[in-house]
Amino acid sequence: MIMSTMSNDTAADDTDTERRRYEDVFNYIQSHSYRDEATKYDKRAIRKQATSFAVQDGVLHHRCGDTLARVVVDNEEKTRIMTGMHDDPVGGGHFGMTTTIDKIRSRFWWRGFSVDVKNYVKSCDRCQKANHSNKAPISSLHPVTVKNIFHRWGIDLVGPLKETKSGYKYVAVATEYLTKWPEVKALRDKSAKSVHEFLMEIVYRFGACDMIIHDQGKEFNNSLLGSLMEELNIKRAMTSAYHSQSNGYVKPHIPFSVSEKF
């Protein structure tokens, strides 16, 4: 609470700075006085800030329209207010963020209080357990549809592996989704050009498919492969970075090393 006689208890640096700022505003409103070391820029800032505050019964209040809310500086008091307005069986009731903010706004104010209240409510264990809107809805499963042979291919890369004598250290694997037929090729690098050549070999042998599934690696997401897909009218589906199992048909065919014959 900011009054004509303020507490000199030791506090954190940021709290002290905030308290001093409000002391300047309080003194200006009460007596139009400034601290001795205040510069002309400080005085200008104090006068500007003072328009948003008022002193009532020796206590600094913040103006919010026609409402005057008591200014709170002490961090412990802020916590007590949020606890009482949210957790207390009488004055709280574990209401949501908006209601708790409105209840506090009608009586108290501090800089950034709405953010503090939101973080406090988010951390309330009881609210998180009781509020079903905070829980993600159960996702429905969508099976991968395969219309016919060579309709859908999955592609992935593994590596770098132990480099062979010929310089191969990556493996490209493509799996046809209906027959589970795998195509595997050793690569010297995982550049867009190498992946492009691998896909073209599949197209030459089996024709253009309707869709290719791959992850979000740069070796697949680039202009070279993008133009190829566009020319051949092939649709692309990317697996989520957090659920690469969506392209699970490819994984069983990925070898753990590159044969020395390469």
DSSP 22-75: HHHHHHHHHHS---TT--HHHHHHHHHHHTTEEEETTEEEEEETTEEEEE---H
For residues 201 and 212, give the distance between their C-alpha atoms in angstroms, rounded to a whole number.
Answer: 14
Contact 155, 199 (CB under 8 A): yes
Torsion angle, alpha carbons of 242, 246, 250, 254, to 10: 20
50-89: burial string, b at 16+ Cβ within 10 Å, e else: beebebeeeebbbeeeeebbbbbbbeeebeebbeebbbee
Angle between helices 13-31 and 40-50 (to 10 degrees): 80
Query: How does pLDDT run along the chain (262 residues), one tens digit per residue?
Result: 444 444 444 445 667 778 888 888 888 888 888 888 888 888 898 888 888 888 888 888 888 777 778 887 777 888 888 888 888 777 667 788 888 888 888 888 888 888 888 888 888 888 777 766 655 666 677 776 777 888 888 888 887 888 888 888 888 888 888 888 888 888 888 888 888 888 888 888 888 888 888 887 888 888 888 888 888 888 887 776 544 455 455 555 554 444 444 4
Domains of the chain: 13-134 (1.10.340.70), 152-253 (3.30.420.10)
